[in-house]
Amino acid sequence: MLQNIRVVLVNTSHPGNIGGAARAMKNMGLSRLVLVDPQDFPSHEAVARASGASDILETAQVVGTLEEALVGCTLVLGTSARDRRLPWPLIDPRECGTMACADAGAGAEVALVFGREYAGLTNEELQRCHFHVHIPSDPAFSSLNLAAAVQVLSYEVRMAWLAAEGQRPKVVKEEVGSERSSQPSTTDEMELFYGHLNATLVEIGFLDPENPRHLMSRLRRLFGRSAVSRTEMNILRGILTETQKAARGLAYKRKSAPEEK
């Protein structure tokens, strides 16, 4: 179950932090590390700080973009400082652990995403996350070391996992994962949907591509928290396709077409 949870580090500067994160993960029983565009990797410093967790560094996946790192994921939890301009569903590390374990236990792929040492995640990256996790630090000194942040979230995942071991009602598993059609859409499927939605909104004149404001991010937030199933995704994509046809004057001719033509 813990193997369904990946830790994603975005654009890390210091290899020591990658090693420290690997050690924290392994201590807590996590094993899948994904590095998005690390500045210095592989590195001796990472191995030194990993202190026995170098197997996690060796099997780490290195990718170029966050999008690649999230392929297959249906739950993406990104660490964030609290004061973002963008309002987003915000949870604490304990809720993060519970949520990650519940989904991973039902067979879903989950990502815990950590940003750059000094700048965190960009707003664009944060919008790819379903929930933002805020580690409740002292506002006067709020920035945790990267490996320390990985330690806190990994710890909460393990606490939730230990609590769920033996306690987890089997019914929940069956309910959530019984048929493929009721499984949540993956991150990449959601991205295709957002692309289609964006194009359609431009086409019907609702979205001005030169002045998009916060429209798409608001819609991402709405659909992002809904765990859209595959069946529902098929319906949403179908609606978009028909909307585009209608906007192009190719609407399906119904027996009782409205007066307005």
Residues in 84-103 that interact with its own copies by CB under 8 A? 87-94
CB of 179 to its own copies, least distance (A): 9
Rounded to an integer, what distance in angstroms lies between the CA atom of residue 89 and that of residue 68? 23
Q: Which of 128, 130, 134, 220 binds its own copies (CB under 8 A)?
A: 134
Q: What are phi and psi of 183, to 5 degrees?
A: -70, 145
Residue 235 CB partners (closer than 8 Å, separation 6+)? none
Residue 9 corresponds to which tokens in the numbers above? 């580090």
Q: Does 106 bind its own copies (CB under 8 A)?
A: no
Residues in 194-223 that interact with its own copies by CB under 8 A? 201-206, 208, 215, 218-219, 221-223
CB of 176 to its own copies, least distance (A): 7
Q: Does 253 bind its own copies (CB under 8 A)?
A: yes
Rounded to an integer, what distance in angstroms lies between the CA atom of residue 113 and that of residue 34? 9
Q: Does 52 bind its own copies (CB under 8 A)?
A: yes
Give the nearer residue to its own copies in terms of CB position, either 122 or 229: 229
3-state helix vs strand vs coil in the chain, percent to 5: 50, 15, 40
Residue 133 corresponds to which tokens in the numbers above? 């996790």
Q: Does 147 bind its own copies (CB under 8 A)?
A: yes
For residue 260, what are the CA distances in angstroms to 256, 257? 11, 8
Rounded to an integer, what distance in angstroms lies between the CA atom of residue 129 and that of residue 188? 12
Q: Does 225 bind its own copies (CB under 8 A)?
A: yes
Q: Does 141 bind its own copies (CB under 8 A)?
A: yes
Residues in 24-43 that interact with its own copies by CB under 8 A? 24, 26-29
> What's the maximum distance between 2 C-alpha atoms anywhere in the chain?
75
Give the nearer residue to its own copies in terms of CB position, either 63 or 247: 247
Residues in 156-175 that interact with its own copies by CB under 8 A? 158-159, 162, 168, 171-172, 175
3-state SS, residue 229: strand
Give the nearer residue to its own copies in terms of CB position, either 62 or 219: 219
Rounded to an integer, what distance in angstroms lies between the CA atom of residue 120 and that of residue 11? 9
Question: Could you tell me which stretch among 34-42, 98-106, 121-129, 249-257 binds its own copies (CB under 8 A)?
Answer: 249-257
Question: Could you tell me which stretch among 39-47, 71-79, 154-162, 185-193 binds its own copies (CB under 8 A)?
Answer: 154-162
Q: Does 45 bind its own copies (CB under 8 A)?
A: no
CB of 173 to its own copies, least distance (A): 10
For residue 81, what are the CA distances in angstroms to 131, 154, 220? 12, 18, 20
Give the interface size with its own copies as a residue count (CB under 8 A).
Answer: 79
Residues in 177-196 that interact with its own copies by CB under 8 A? 182
What are residue 61's DSSP bridge partners? 34
